[in-house]
Amino acid sequence: MNVDTGLIQLMKSGGVLHVRSANDSTSTLETKANEVSIPYNFSRIGSDNRKVGDLGIKVEYFNKPVKLLNTAAELVAKDLYRLLQYSDRLPDNPPSRDNLIFKHSEDYRNRLIEYLSSINHKDEFSTFKGAISIDLNKMESTSSDTIIIDEADATGNDFGFLEEQTYSLESLLSVNKEERNIKLKEAIKNLSSRVWYSINSLVKDTISQEVVRRRQLRFLVSMVRSYRTLELFCALKPRKQGQTIKSQVTKKILKESNGRLDEKDLTLYLQRGFRIERVLNSIGVKWNILDAIDNLTPCFFTSTINGCQNFEIWLEIILSNEVISYNEAEIRYKQFKATLANERVMCMKQACGDLWS
């Protein structure tokens, strides 16, 4: 902005810059250029000749670039749709991918779906090559929201076979040929076993990570359900002037974390939890469908699926195998938010009504 020359300079990269006077809709400038200088009537703040319309301009970006749904996320959505067609054939506790056999998740998903299409009922299901059974005993719960954690599994102190074992070339050369051949054969066998043990342990760790992944999804859904209940209870409690229910809830949660959680992280966890819950409810609360795809980590729901509109597109692919437009996704997202807000208000009113009735 240059007061002496009476010019306002606007700069942007890409797209179309659309500038018009806020009080004169007929005065319009539209250009493909990424740098525009326009004359405009303005004056210094506080000067005697300042007019009401000074600096009253509106700037809009046309052709704003849209972030498309991640290709990997779209493929996962399509496979979720395919899995749903065989949900009655998929075990409640589906196996996991053996990454030594299937290097890529997509290949494993295709094999799993192909196998499901060859059977008629989950009772016929048996683990095929490249699939590893998962022990979910640690995921059993005494209630729908309480998950048991095995402390021994969490410590990981037993390294067993990894205890140091050394072989000396000098010791092999110091014995006679016959004994040397015996010791050499034994050493080669033991070292080969150690290499395989380490690789196989990596696979076992992958299985442990898969159990953790499934638990994390359940923890996040449990979290958002507790969060809603907490909102209701906080709605019944008197608040300071200017304090909202949301800010009160946030304050209580952060206090319980003893400084380990901040508001930004809480928002991220809630976003993940709400999205996981929405998918789960949309597919009929079939945890086995989400368990079967190892790509579905908590991060997937906020990082791989970039944006609320893309989440709507992704969800529709799961349910109908159809790709809706970005504009349609925008409409659905706004409708979902409005419905959610209305339901929240109704729950609050009902809770308050029950309290005072």
- Render pLDDT for 242-260 as a digit per residue (tens, 0 to 9): 888 889 999 999 999 999 9
Residues 6 or more apart whose Cβ sits within 8 Å of residue 128 = 111, 115
Q: How many CB atoms lie within 10 A of CB 50?
A: 13
Q: Are 218 and 144 spatial neighbours (Cβ–Cβ below 8 Å)?
A: no
Joined tokens for residue 84: 């749903």
Joined tokens for residue 149: 């954690």
pLDDT band at 32 (very low <50, low <70, confident <90, very high): very low
Nearest in space to 30 (alpha carbons), one of 8, 61, 56: 61
Nearest in space to 110 (alpha carbons), one of 137, 86, 79: 79
Statement: the pTM of the whole predicted model exceeds 0.75: no
Q: Are 295 and 83 spatial neighbours (Cβ–Cβ below 8 Å)?
A: no
Residue 292, SS3? Answer: coil
Q: Which DSSP symbol is given to 128? A: P
Residue range 295-330, pLDDT digits in tens: 999 999 999 998 999 999 999 999 999 999 999 999
Mean pLDDT lowest for which of 110-119, 159-168, 173-182, 194-203?
Answer: 159-168
Residues 6 or more apart whose Cβ sits within 8 Å of residue 236 = 351, 352, 355
Mean pLDDT, the chain, whole residue set: 77
Residue 278, SS3? Answer: helix
Residue 169, SS3? Answer: helix
Q: Which residues make beta-bridge pairs with 141?
A: 147
Whether 67 has a pLDDT exceeding 70, the answer reads: yes
Residue range 332-350, pLDDT digits in tens: 999 999 998 888 888 877 7
**For the residues 22-48, what does the mean pLDDT come to?**
44
Joined tokens for residue 248: 């009160």
Q: What are the φ/ψ torsions at residue 59 (nearest 5 degrees)?
A: -120, 130
Residue range 111-152, pLDDT digits in tens: 999 999 999 999 999 989 999 988 766 544 433 333 333 333
Higher per-residue confidence, 328 vs 55: 328
Residues 6 or more apart whose Cβ sits within 8 Å of residue 110 = 79
Q: What are the φ/ψ torsions at residue 163 (nearest 5 degrees)?
A: -60, 145
